Amino acid sequence: QKEVEQNSGPLSVPEGAIASLNCTYSDRVSQSFFWYRQYSGKSPELIMSIYSNGDKEDGRFTAQLNKASQYVSLLIRDSQPSDSATYLCAAADDKIIFGKGTRLHILP
């Protein structure tokens, strides 16, 4: 059974600090990794894709991938109250597997 594991949270982070979200996956052949943001009552929105080991930066977001450790993370710099949401991690090879998400709460 292929799985993507995330801590459900909530993860509380002060405004302006760095939020660090983590994810592990079980399928070693996964090639593509995604982070989605989902606000309460809304649909998931793709915020980052990463395909190779290392870091990928996009604005305040940095995705990190370590295939040897089967580990993906998302860093959010200068956290804002608008970043409060559930963040879904996903891993894909022949199919995409979603984690259940981590709830992030940015404290004003």
Closest CA to 21 of 108, 93, 90, 96: 90
What is the smallest separation between the CB atom of 76 and another protein, expressed in angstroms?
A: 19
What is the smallest separation between the CB atom of 49 and another protein, expressed in angstroms?
A: 5
Q: 19, 74, 92, 106: which one contacts another protein (CB under 8 A)?
A: 92
**Contact (Cβ atoms closer than 8 angstroms) between residue 38 and residue 88:** yes
Q: In what order do the strands lie in the sheet with 61-66?
A: 4-5, 19-25, 71-76, 61-66, 54-58
**Closer Cβ to another protein, 12 or 15, answer by number:** 12
| 11 sits near another protein (criterion: CB under 8 A) | no
3-state secondary structure of 83: helix
Binding site for another protein (CB under 8 A): 31-32, 34, 36, 42-46, 49, 88, 92-96, 98-101
